[in-house]
Amino acid sequence: MSEFQAQANLRGKVAVITGAGRGIGRAIARACADAGAAVVCSARTIAEVQEKSRMIEAAGGRSAAVAADVCDYPATEALFAAAADQFGGIDIVVANAGVSLESRKVEHSDPLLWKQTVEVNLVGVFNTARAAIPHLRRRGAGKMILIGSGSRHRPNPGMSSYASSELGTWMLTQTLAVELQSANISVNELIPGPVRTAMTGFGEKFAPEGE
């Protein structure tokens, strides 16, 4: 396969990526655009995804930025409707939005932060998948990738909310894969491993666009 073919293997596809304003989501958005896909970048903060969308377009790609909170189902539905309206449909969904808000042991944890972590990491993924499915079905096929974590099977002090939400995402992935197989929609979980991002506390560094 030539370098051009490798870079253009998503030409004609439309990808929607949540949590695309920073970290892993930002990198995935760039990779999809480099491979030829039209990319809809979404996050709660519109400025971050607008910046990424402008970078993709400046490099010759097609992109749009849509603000949406994945914990809000109507807003998530509106995200996919906007993506389909602008680019004619949706082929790829990357459910990447996630947080780690509570790092204390259970007995000292804040119940509200514990709940918010689960809402973003699990309910938010459910909302994303639920809102995307009708659009993928209209295409006759599709790819859904849920970003997970190895923490789902590793009990660590102070990580109960994050690990519990990721374990739920793991089971949701398997259930969706079985439910959508007949519709030719593949569902997979991607576990990137340790990555330097703002959420992991190591900060993040991006290579200049075009490198």
DSSP 164-195: HHHHHHHHHHHHHHHHHGGGTEEEEEE---S-
- Judging by beta carbons within 10 Å of its beta carbon (0-12, 13-18, 19+), is residue 149 exposed, middle or buried? buried
Taking the domains of the chain in order of start, what are their residue ranges? 9-190
Q: What integer pLDDT is reported at residue 101 of this predicted model?
A: 86
Of residues 17, 35, 37, 18, the one with CA closest to residue 88:
37
Number of helices (H), then strands (E), belonging to the chain: the values are 7, 6
Using an 8 Å Cβ cutoff, are 106 and 99 in contact?
no
pLDDT band with cut points at 50, 70 and 90 for residue 119:
very high
Average pLDDT over residues 8-14: 90
pLDDT digits (tens, 9 = 90+) for 61-93: 999 999 999 999 999 999 999 999 999 999 999
Asked if CATH classification 3.30.40.10 holds for the domain at 9-190, the reply, yes or no, is no
Q: pTM for the full model? A: 0.86
Mean pLDDT over each residue of the chain, to the nearest integer? 87
Rounded Cα distance, 64 and 54, in Å: 8
Is 162 considered catalytic here?
Answer: yes
Task: Kindly tell me if the per-residue pLDDT of 151 is higher than 80.
Answer: no
DSSP characters over 56-100: HHHTT--EEEEE--TTSHHHHHHHHHHHHHHHS---EEEE-----
Alpha-carbon Rg for the chain, nearest whole angstrom, is 17
Q: What integer pLDDT is reported at residue 157 of this predicted model?
A: 82
Q: What integer pLDDT is reported at residue 96 of this predicted model?
A: 96
Tokens 């990738």 sit at which residue?
Answer: 145
What share of the chain in percent tops pLDDT 90? 72
Using an 8 Å Cβ cutoff, are 78 and 70 in contact?
no
pLDDT band with cut points at 50, 70 and 90 for residue 193:
low
Catalytic residue among 121, 162, 164, 166: 162
Using an 8 Å Cβ cutoff, are 34 and 28 in contact?
no
Task: Kindly tell me if the per-residue pLDDT of 4 is higher than 50.
Answer: no
Average pLDDT over residues 126-143: 98
Sheet containing strand 92-95, edge to edge, reads 63-67, 38-43, 14-18, 92-95, 142-147, 185-190
